[in-house]
Amino acid sequence: MFKEIGSFNAKARLSELLQAVKRGQRFTITLRGRPVADLVPSGSAVAPADVLTAVENMQKIHKISGVSMETIREWVTEGRK
């Protein structure tokens, strides 16, 4: 089960969230009350439909918040490290 957390709080509590994720917890990060990303343990099985949903959510972030596609690409690249 996913717990929801706002993007501002997620940023402020990132270290704490990462420790919780290491223990198996999962979080949905919201932006203005709308889900935009899931924080899950590394290596979690991801269904193709979930990948499509993640891409769609990144596109929504761009439209809702004005975050540039370049910034989103940097986030994706950073997440792969």
Q: Compute CA distances 27 → 16, 63, 68, whole Å.
A: 12, 22, 24
Q: Which of 4-8, 65-69, 71-75 has the lowest mean pLDDT?
A: 65-69
The CA distance from 2 to 36, in Å, is 13
Residues 17-39 have pLDDT tens digits of 999 999 989 999 999 999 999 99
What integer pLDDT is reported at residue 53 of this predicted model?
82
What integer pLDDT is reported at residue 45 of this predicted model?
60
